[in-house]
Amino acid sequence: MTLPPGQKVVDGFPRFGKHLQHPAPPVPADPTIEIGGALTEPITLCVADLATLPRVELKADFHCVAGWSATNLLWEGVSLQTLYRTRIEPLLAPGAAPTHALFEGLDGFRSIVLLEDALADDVLIADRLNRKPLDSDHGAPVRLFSPGQYGFISTKHLCRIEFHTSEPLGRDRWSPLAEDPRARVWQEERHRYLPGRLVRPIYHALIRPIRALSARGSHTPPN
């Protein structure tokens, strides 16, 4: 098995994230994804409507920028590219050519992605993991999953998508852990300004504390 540079296999698939110890946000009774930005009018997509799009199954690994990888996960959901071509493109404002997409979770987490990366063949809005509905640790009711990019792109508890014609503000550029805007795992694009190899040890030191904190907010006790 080959992993991207600087990654190590982790046991299982830990809950991990900027949410730290906070429990996952409750799943609304009738979850929706608001879609806005460069559209003639914003739309609300019921998560249940996703069932009308073709289902996709994808065996893929999950790579966190801190350096752990969870391998051999079976994801199910719909292709973001299909959603975009069928539901979004027809609604674009005349002349609008989006370059970026923004994804937001029910916990306020955001990721910003180049449209070209978001429309890669393997990017999903996932609602099932390993043949079960996505649980709250991993992003219920639905999450983005982009296997070719570090995990911070894959927004959990997805409730809003915006398409923009320039890079939206909001990435924390000045944080010492400034995220790479493309975050491609095979290119080791961990950091916006520093080479991936160089920051490996710093990120690595974060795995234990973030993992321990995240487990505290988990709905499933660790086994």
Ligand X SMILES: Nc1nc2c(c(=O)[nH]1)N[C@H]1C(S)=C(S)[C@@H](COP(=O)(O)O)O[C@H]1N2
| Cβ atoms 31, 158 nearer than 8 A | no
Q: Is 204 left (phi over 0), alpha (psi -120 to 50) or beta?
A: alpha
| Contact status: 160 vs ligand X (CB under 6 A) | no
CA distances from 113 to 144, 167, 168, 178, 215 (A): 11, 9, 10, 14, 27
HSE-up of residue 52 (Cα within 13 Å, Cβ side): 8
How many residues does this entry show for the chain?
223
| Contact status: 142 vs ligand X (CB under 6 A) | no
| Contact status: 190 vs ligand X (CB under 6 A) | no
Q: Which is nearer to ligand X, 157 or 184 (CB)?
A: 157
Nearest distance from C-beta of residue 12 to ligand X, angstroms:
10
Nearest distance from C-beta of residue 99 to Mo ion, angstroms:
24
| Contact status: 31 vs ligand X (CB under 6 A) | no
| Contact status: 155 vs ligand X (CB under 6 A) | yes
Enumerate binding residues for Mo ion (CB under 5 A).
64-65, 151-152
Enumerate binding residues for ligand X (CB under 6 A).
13-19, 64, 105, 107, 109, 137-139, 151-152, 154-157
